[in-house]
Amino acid sequence: MEFYFLNSNEQPPESSTHKHEHELHRVDCPFFPDESEKFGPYKTSQEALLAARIWTSMKGYDWFVDGCAECCPEIDSDKQ
């Protein structure tokens, strides 16, 4: 079981292929965000991603939630 954190700050447009992209990070990520929302614990990054997407939808945020390329490449849509 692991905790994940959703970056509260939007990815810069030049580094993202999606509008309003916010990345999900593991707690030990070298790119761990200063401002974030905590999710977890979850068994898999896929579970954490789903929870973060449901949470942002329920909050009414127009965010695209994606995995960090460094610590969550298995859920980074740019890597798939």
pTM, 2 dp: 0.87
The per-residue pLDDT for 79 is 60
The per-residue pLDDT for 15 is 66
pLDDT of 19 above 90: no
pLDDT of 7 above 90: yes
pLDDT in tens, 20-69: 889 999 999 999 888 898 988 999 999 999 999 999 999 999 999 999 99
- CA 63-43-35 angle, 5° bins: 40
Residue 78 CA to residue 27 CA, distance in Å, equals 21
